[in-house]
Structure formats: C-alpha cells, structure tokens
Amino acid sequence: MRKSVLISLLLLLATTAMAQRDWQLFEEKENWVTTDNAAGLVALPDSGITKIDVAYGHSKGDFRTTDIGSHVNEWGTEGKTYQRLSPSVVLYGEAKYASARHSSSLGTLLNGLEVLQPIDADDSDDGIEAHKNQSDLEMIGKVGWNVYKQFSVGASVNAMRGVTKKYTADEPRNTYGGIETMVSMRQRFTDCFSLGSSFLYYGNTEKLGSRSMTDTPMTNNSFGIATQGEIKGGQVIPFEFFFTFNYMRRNGHYGQDSQSTAYYADFSGNSRK
C-alpha cells in the first residue's frame, strides 16, 4: 500500500478587478477564449488575468513497476496569462515544467512517453532496480486579432520537450520533442451565433536508445482542420451550445531505413472527433 503526501503552493496574480474571481470560472465565462482557436481570444471579457502554480509531491511504498518507483519525488510549475494589448489584440502565454525522480523502479527499458510511441518495453522480470529521472517542458504562445468588425484571425505555437533516463549500467533513455503551429479565424454573425476554423500542423520526434543501442527514432507529422461553433439563447430561453469537430491526418516512420536499427516501418492514419 502506498502513502502519498502532496504539498501545493498556489500563487494567483490578477492584473484587473478579477483578482478575487476563480480562474476556472473565468475560463468558463467565455468558451471561445479557452479553445485551440486563437482567433477566439478576442472574446476575452476583461483586460487580463495571470495565474502561477507551484506543486510538490512525494510518495513511497513497497509497490513498484517500470513506471513507478518505491519512492517518488515530483515537482513542477505552471504559469498562464491572458493579456489584452489593445481593443483588437489579445495575447495568451503558457509555460509548464515538471520533473520526477523515481527510486528503485524495475526494469531496464522505458515505456513510451507519447500516446503514438510504439515502444512498450516491460522487462521487470529481470529484477533490476534503478533510479529514473523524467522531465517535461512545454511552452505555448497565442495571439488573436480582431481584423474588421466581428471577424478575427489568430495564430499559435506550442513547443514541447521531454526526457526520461534510467540509471542502470546501460542507461536507457527516451526523449521527445515536438512543435505545433496553428492559424485560425472566427466570424461572429450575431450575438447568438458564431463560427470558427483552425488549420494545424504538428510534428514530433521520439527516440529510444541506450549506451549499447543506437537511438531509434519515431517521426510523426500531423495535419488537421477543426471547426468550432457557438449558439446562444436569448433572455426568454437562456441556453448556450458550443460544438467542435476535428479531423487529423498523420504519417511518419519508426526506425531508420538502414542496418543501424533493427526495425523500420512507415505508418499513417486519421482521426475524427
């Protein structure tokens, strides 16, 4: 049985009269502000708000796997800010960093970091225990611009980097890096109806390697389009309906087409939701 202790420090800084309001209520106040569609940032109801979170967690026990060690120390920080630069321009920024150290985790290989990672190695039967470190960094920037009357455009960039390393003699490691870019538009037709569209590119590379094994990369490229819409009722029948449809097409390859890696394959797929 594992015992956990979580110590959190929350620092909330607000640049407007919203200082006493809850952050979650702020984000729920206007659906367009929290979507991936950066053009929707112009719907920001206030001049700005900023939030910073700092957290630390510790857990220990006799249960351990390739994912979880007997002792785990986790810490991280996250900052978010919405800022209206002018009546027609709004910026959004976000930065997240998380780090974890696991003591006496099992196995000599690591599980994949991303959902698309095809490697899922679990050799916990060998009885090898070792320390494992993991760190993740993500930075997001968005800008929305009200071009003309009720028509707005936007752009966003999201960069990610992560590393997991295990301190056995062979030092297996798993790294990933990725970048996502998006351009968006939004048209507000009436106070009760608006539509938006976004066009996205996402590329990432993951690698699994060790002292004895050449890094085996998996490269993934995704292209997508999303449509968002909002319908609101009036004072007589108050309601709010927000919908989104996403289509993604991805392709890439795993391994290297050479004798330096044991496996090579191309892959492709699509998703709708």
Alpha-carbon Rg for the chain, nearest whole angstrom, is 22
SS3 238: coil
- Nearest-angstrom CA–CA distance, 192 and 4: 48
- Nearest-angstrom CA–CA distance, 65 and 107: 8
SS3 218: strand
Q: How far apart are the first and last CA of the chain?
A: 39
Report the pLDDT value the prediction gives residue 115, as an integer from 0 to 100. Answer: 43
User: How is the chain split into domains, by residue range?
Assistant: 3-272
Report the pLDDT value the prediction gives residue 22, as an integer from 0 to 100. Answer: 64
The CATH code for residues 3-272 is: 2.40.128
Give me the half-sphere count of Cα atoms (radius 13 Å) on the Cβ side of residue 236: 0
Concatenated DSSP letters for 12-36?
Answer: EE-SSGGGGS-HHHHHHH-HHHHSS
pTM of the model: 0.77
In DSSP terms, 184 is beta-bridged to 154, 198
Residue 197 and residue 227 in contact, taking contact as beta carbons nearer than 8 Å = yes
Residue 188 and residue 194 in contact, taking contact as beta carbons nearer than 8 Å = yes
Report the pLDDT value the prediction gives residue 258, as an integer from 0 to 100. Answer: 54
Query: Token match 């995704």: residue?
Result: 222
pLDDT along the chain (273 residues), means of 10: 40 41 70 88 83 85 66 88 91 92 66 43 52 87 93 95 78 83 94 91 81 72 90 78 86 62 57 65
Report the pLDDT value the prediction gives residue 265, as an integer from 0 to 100. Answer: 57
Who contacts 142 (Cβ-Cβ below 8 Å, separation ≥6)? 38, 41, 91, 92, 93, 154, 155, 156
Query: Token match 């009436």: residue?
Result: 190
Report the pLDDT value the prediction gives residue 15, as an integer from 0 to 100. Answer: 40
SS3 88: coil
